[in-house]
Amino acid sequence: MAPEASPEAGRLFEADSPLGRRLVDTGPHQDVIAAARRLLPQLSEEEKVATLNAHPRLGERPQRMSALSRDEQGADQAPELEQLNAEYERRFGFRFVVFVNRRNRSEIVEVLKKRLQHDRAQELELGLAAVVAIAEDRWRRLDVRHEVRYGKAEIGFYRSHATPLKVSPIPESTFRGRDNLLLAGRVTVDVFGDTFWAAYTEGDNSQVVATDTMKNFVYAQALEYHGATAEGLAGFIARRFLETYPQMEKLRISYRELPYRSHSGRLLSAAPGDHSFVELTHSRAGLLELESGRRDLQLVKLTGSAFASFARDRYTTLPERSDRPLHICLDVFWRYREPAAALSGDGKDYVAGEQVADHVRHTFDGFVSMSIQHLVHEMGQRLLARFSQLDQVRFEAQNRLWDTSAESPEGESRVFSDPKPAHGLIGLTLTRD
């Protein structure tokens, strides 16, 4: 694969050098390294010397040095190296340039001593060859693609007296809304942007927004948010980050609800169990992706499920069951046709996680399934039929069927126990055409 051309020339070669300028002016080149080798003989001696002098002295870290040169130079210049550099420049009239190639300072000192024994023509040729070798090494490193991401995980907050939520009723659920006396959750922020690349390559933190700052920013936005939905809050936080910090190109915001049940105008209790989840990605161009969810549903029924007529071979020990108890752990996720219904922060066309959970329980209770695959497909079809505003539903299920450890010979009573650690995984995604 050939190096990419003139747009990269200013990064591979010192931009102010005659060779760098000539490459930009004559480009684009299919292979910028090969082009540099062709152009070098066409430079005048004065231009060749200027190309060497555009390179920083070994160990030097001036402001105008390219980012790649600063990365290559390493630590501060040792006194012996400084003295030898000065002697080299007095003798030849241009700077000492060498392809360091991961050699340590003491090895470079020995190289410099040997090259001081050469004549000027030899050193001019060796120095220019080193310029090209350095650029070729830079190209190899530039060819490694990267994605910069960092952030703050699990920012817990408890916002009191948020806007109440009201939603349209459905037959499968008694949920009509919540007072949002306490809107609580954990937010994870992932920030993307090439502006932060220098922090990885050079330790330059000048553009880095500290993750502790992100935490405090989330607290402030949770207070300022006047909507009623988790999706609206996540979108609000993402937009405010982008408005406040221009170095951020894109954000991914994840929200995990910490559910509380309100008993009166001031009494609440934690409500462990299934909870809502939101993940969205937002760039400066707008919303890129939004998925809502209800996680950690644990559903049990003692009858109304079967698993039979499955493939059997010499490794199969599982008996067929025409009626069995069923215990599943279930996460369900959904995407809107029009995400604005979730991001607006009100209840119009909003699908509440509580309603989805109730709807899934309703299907689980009434549908006689031939397998968990059969069950989640029915759940998905019914959800899409009930909520026309949804474009997609997705399930991640685990078969946590209990072991039967004791049975009464006289009735239906049984004792179940936790199953062995290995469990089945079932996934399904249904998307409207």
Rounded to an integer, the average pLDDT of 359-384 is 97
CATH number at residue 25: 1.10.3330.10
- For residue 120, the model assigns a pLDDT of 94
1 in any annotated domain: no
For residue 64, what pLDDT band results from cuts at 50, 70 and 90?
Answer: very low
- For residue 293, the model assigns a pLDDT of 98
DSSP letter for 185, please.
Answer: E
User: Do both 192 and 43 map to the same domain?
Assistant: no
Average predicted confidence (pLDDT) for the chain: 90
pLDDT cut 90: percent of the chain above it: 71
138 in any annotated domain: yes
CA pair distance 427, 185, nearest whole angstrom: 26
- For residue 6, the model assigns a pLDDT of 46
255 in any annotated domain: yes
324 in any annotated domain: yes
273 in any annotated domain: yes
User: Do both 133 and 195 map to the same domain?
Assistant: no
pLDDT cut 70: percent of the chain above it: 92
Q: Which of 152, 229, 250, 363 is catalytic?
A: 152
User: Do both 153 and 26 map to the same domain?
Assistant: no
Strand partners, 182: 160
What secondary structure does DSSP assign to 197-238, as a single string? HHHHHT---TTPPPHHHHHHHHHHHHHH---S-HHHHHHHHH
Q: Over the stretch 154-190, which tens digit does the pLDDT of each residue have?
A: 999 999 999 999 999 999 999 999 999 999 999 999 9
User: Do both 126 and 154 map to the same domain?
Assistant: no
- Asked which of 113, 142, 171 is the last residue of a domain, the reply is 142
Active site residue 166: no
User: Do both 107 and 224 map to the same domain?
Assistant: no
| Count of domains forming the chain | 2
Q: Which of 211, 215, 281, 301 is catalytic?
A: 211
Higher pLDDT, 16 or 275: 275
Lowest mean pLDDT among 18-27, 66-75, 321-330: 66-75
For residue 338, what pLDDT band results from cuts at 50, 70 and 90?
Answer: very high
User: Do both 12 and 76 map to the same domain?
Assistant: yes
> Are the C-beta atoms of residues 307 and 371 closer than 8 Å to each other?
yes
User: Do both 130 and 156 map to the same domain?
Assistant: no
Rounded to an integer, the average pLDDT of 311-333 is 94
Q: Tell me which residue range forms the domain holding 41.
A: 6-142
Rounded to an integer, the average pLDDT of 71-90 is 72
Residue 281: other Cβ atoms inside 10 A: 17
403 in any annotated domain: yes
Active site residue 26: no
Torsion sign (Cα): 141, 147, 148, 150: negative
Claim: this prediction has a pTM higher than 0.75: no
Rounded to an integer, the average pLDDT of 23-49 is 89
- Asked which of 114, 142, 170 is the last residue of a domain, the reply is 142
Q: Over the stretch 245-296, which tens digit does the pLDDT of each residue have?
A: 999 999 999 999 999 998 888 899 999 999 999 999 999 999 999 999 999 9
Lowest mean pLDDT among 196-200, 258-262, 290-294, 328-332: 196-200
Rounded to an integer, the average pLDDT of 93-120 is 89
> Are the C-beta atoms of residues 209 and 247 closer than 8 Å to each other?
yes
- For residue 61, the model assigns a pLDDT of 46
User: Do both 109 and 174 map to the same domain?
Assistant: no
- Asked which of 100, 124, 142 is the last residue of a domain, the reply is 142
- For residue 72, the model assigns a pLDDT of 45
- For residue 13, the model assigns a pLDDT of 84
Rounded to an integer, the average pLDDT of 341-369 is 94
CATH number at residue 238: 3.10.270.10
User: Do both 165 and 135 map to the same domain?
Assistant: no
- For residue 7, the model assigns a pLDDT of 47
- For residue 144, the model assigns a pLDDT of 67
- For residue 265, the model assigns a pLDDT of 80
User: Do both 218 and 276 map to the same domain?
Assistant: yes
Lowest mean pLDDT among 130-134, 193-197, 356-360: 193-197
- For residue 146, the model assigns a pLDDT of 77
Position 68, amino acid: L
Q: Is the pLDDT reported for residue 143 higher than 80?
A: no
CA pair distance 353, 9, nearest whole angstrom: 53
Q: Is the pLDDT reported for residue 153 higher than 60?
A: yes
User: Do both 322 and 421 map to the same domain?
Assistant: yes
Q: What are phi and psi of 95, to 5 degrees?
A: -80, 150
User: Do both 115 and 156 map to the same domain?
Assistant: no
